[in-house]
């Protein structure tokens, strides 16, 4: 890769003149600036981005490691990160961990090898490899889930409270055998949503039973199987709280296969307001999380951390909003 010194030698000028010419400074003679630009083009020279840390030679790049690129919740987070990063000259590289600790670890290794300026990640589970980032001094921020046993900047949503409110809404509609389909054991958001569901049952003096709870991967396939299992019971649930929009797709498939209509035969509320949620019949009641805001807040925290690594770690907790639609009202 050509350096600024190579361009200076080709053009017969100093490196300072190259820098001024390529940055469009008016103090450089027009013909001289043209010669510098031609030399840079011939050598394929790319000047450092505006966010490059010259002292540590970090690239003006942020690595974003998310759990599931197909989930609209995470793609909205990515958009928020990208919008903020772009404003200050950073590029964003998107990495999909697929809820795999091994993939997450591999992407962290790549981020270190590529000398990125910082990392934003949604931790895949109960273990993580961010100590590598800590030891190297690479800035990082966690989103959606806190890092296990690791102090860091983190941006969360109070999903336990949101799950409690969603379940309380179903109870207020007259449902009394409410099931919960949530994510894997040990994943903080999955645990919190189950806890919020149980909080609401307890507050309403309804018995909580494991017969009405299923845990599976945060995917449509697992949720479809879980819903089928619940619906095949002698006493199936009369309503369902579903932990994310990918799972909601699987649950809707299972309901259709059983000839059960949401909002008429069974109540349903799912986390995340996916673009299709209003298009199903009846429209799906959802817990809308501020995904884009999570991304923008996380990106600003990362930029602040890159600028000052000695800042105290912060936890930002955002609220979610229950949007009531036809699927959770008795027909």
**pLDDT tens across 118-134, in order?**
999 998 866 667 888 88
- For the cut 50, the answer to whether the pLDDT of residue 56 exceeds it is no
Residue 116 has phi, psi (to 5 degrees) of -65, 155
What is the pTM (predicted TM-score) of this model? 0.80
Residue 265 has phi, psi (to 5 degrees) of -95, -25
**pLDDT tens across 141-164, in order?**
999 988 877 788 999 999 999 999
Count the alpha carbons within 13 Å of 221 in the hemisphere toward its beta carbon.
1
For residues 79 and 93, give the distance between their C-alpha atoms in angstroms, rounded to a whole number: 12
Predicted pLDDT of residue 193: 97
For residues 303 and 61, give the distance between their C-alpha atoms in angstroms, rounded to a whole number: 11
Which of 162, 176, 186 shows the shortest CA–CA distance to 269? 162
Measure Cα distances from 46 to 3, 7, 23, 27, 133 in Å.
Answer: 8, 10, 12, 22, 27
- For the cut 60, the answer to whether the pLDDT of residue 48 exceeds it is no
Q: Are 244 and 270 in contact (CB under 8 A)?
A: yes
């Amino acid at each position: 890769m050509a350096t600024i010194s190579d361009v200076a030698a080709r053009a017969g000028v100093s490196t300072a003149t190259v820098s001024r010419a390529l940055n469009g400074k008016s103090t450089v003679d027009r013909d001289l600036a043209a010669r510098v630009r031609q030399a840079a083009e011939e050598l394929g020279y790319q000047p450092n981005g505006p966010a490059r840390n010259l002292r540590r030679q970090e690239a003006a790049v942020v690595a974003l490691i998310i759990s599931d690129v197909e989930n609209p919740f995470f793609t909205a987070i990515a958009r928020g990160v990208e919008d903020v990063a772009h404003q200050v000259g950073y590029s964003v590289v998107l990495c999909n961990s697929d809820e795999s600790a091994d993939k997450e670890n591999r992407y962290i290794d790549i981020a270190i090898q590529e000398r990125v300026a910082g990392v934003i990640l949604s931790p895949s589970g109960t273990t993580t490899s961010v100590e590598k980032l800590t030891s190297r001094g690479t800035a990082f921020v966690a989103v959606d889930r806190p890092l296990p046993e690791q102090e860091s900047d983190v941006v969360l949503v109070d999903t336990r409270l949101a799950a409690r409110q969603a379940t309380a809404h179903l109870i207020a509609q007259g449902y009394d055998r409410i099931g919960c389909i949530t994510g894997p054991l040990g994943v903080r958001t999955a645990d919190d949503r189950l806890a919020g569901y149980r909080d609401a049952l307890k507050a309403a003096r309804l018995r909580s039973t494991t017969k009405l709870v299923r845990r599976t991967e945060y995917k449509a396939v697992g949720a479809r199987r879980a819903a089928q299992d619940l619906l095949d019971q002698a006493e199936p649930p009369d309503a369902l709280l579903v932990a994310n929009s990918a799972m909601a797709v699987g649950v809707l498939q299972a309901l259709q296969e059983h000839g059960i209509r949401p909002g008429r035969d069974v109540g349903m509320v799912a986390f995340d307001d996916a673009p299709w949620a209003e298009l199903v019949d009846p429209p799906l009641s959802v817990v809308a999380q501020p995904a884009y805001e999570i991304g923008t807040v996380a990106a600003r925290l990362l930029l602040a951390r890159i600028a000052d690594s000695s800042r105290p770690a912060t936890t930002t907790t955002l609220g979610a909003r229950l949007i009531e639609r036809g699927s959770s009202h008795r027909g």
